[in-house]
Amino acid sequence: MDRDSVDSGVLRRLWRAVASRYSSYDLVLPGENSFICRAATCNAWCCRALSVPVGDADAERMQRASGLPPAQFLECENGEPIALPLAEPYLLARREGACSLLGKDLLCSRYEGRPVACRLYPYQPAWLDVETGRPVSRGAVGAIALVLRHRECPGFTGPPLGEEEWVELVASLQRLQSGESQGSDWPERQA
C-alpha cells in the first residue's frame, strides 16, 4: 500500500472477516487516536497482566543487553528455563503478579533488552492476503497488514493518526517483527 492511498474500506472488509479471531483487539485506521503510553494511569497494566513470550533471539538480546543469565529473567523449573514446544518457547519470569523486570518506577528495568512482544505492544500486526483474507507471511505477494491494538491498553488518547503516520506505523511494526529495528517508533513509556 503506498503512502497516498490507505484504503480504509479494504482494511475494514478484511477486519470484518477475521475480527472474531482477535477478540481482544480493535482495528486501527488513519484518523483514530494515536498511542501515548501512560503507565502511571494504568499502573503498568500490560507488564502485570500479560505473560510475555520469549524466543531464542529475544533471550539472546536480553542476555546481551542486561548481562543477566537467562535463569534470572525467564520462568524456570529446577533452575532451568522452561521451554515449551512453541516458536517462542520461553516466558519472561514473573514475580508478585508482574514481570520480574518491571521497576518500582513503573518503567522497564531492562528496556534495551525487552522482547519483541514488549516492543510491539500495544499493537499487533496481522498479515492477510488482500483477496482471500487468509493469514499469510509478512512480505508475501498480495499481503496487506491490519494494524490491531490491544483493547485493554488505555493509551490511545493521542492526537489523530494521519495517513502518513499510519503507513509509518505499519513500516515500524514490520521492522520490529523482522528484527531490523530494536526500538519502537511510538512514544516511550511515561511513568
Summarize as ranges the residues that interact with ligand SF4 (CB under 6 A). 37-39, 42, 44-47, 52, 92, 99, 101-102, 108, 114, 118, 121-122, 153-155, 189
Give strand ranges (E) for the chain: 25-27, 53-54, 76-77, 80-81, 90-91, 94-95, 98-99, 123-129, 143-150
Contacts of 32 (CB under 8 A, 6+ apart): 156, 160, 161
Q: How far is the CB of 44 from ligand SF4 (least distance, A)?
A: 5
- Which lies closer to ligand SF4 via its Cβ, residue 70 or residue 133? 70
Q: How far is the CB of 116 from ligand SF4 (least distance, A)?
A: 10
Grid coordinates 518457547 are at which residue?
A: 89
- Which lies closer to ligand SF4 via its Cβ, residue 74 or residue 126? 74
Q: How far is the CB of 129 from ligand SF4 (least distance, A)?
A: 30
- Which lies closer to ligand SF4 via its Cβ, residue 118 or residue 144? 118
Q: How far is the CB of 93 from ligand SF4 (least distance, A)?
A: 9
What single-letter amino acid sits at 13?
A: R
SS3 20: helix
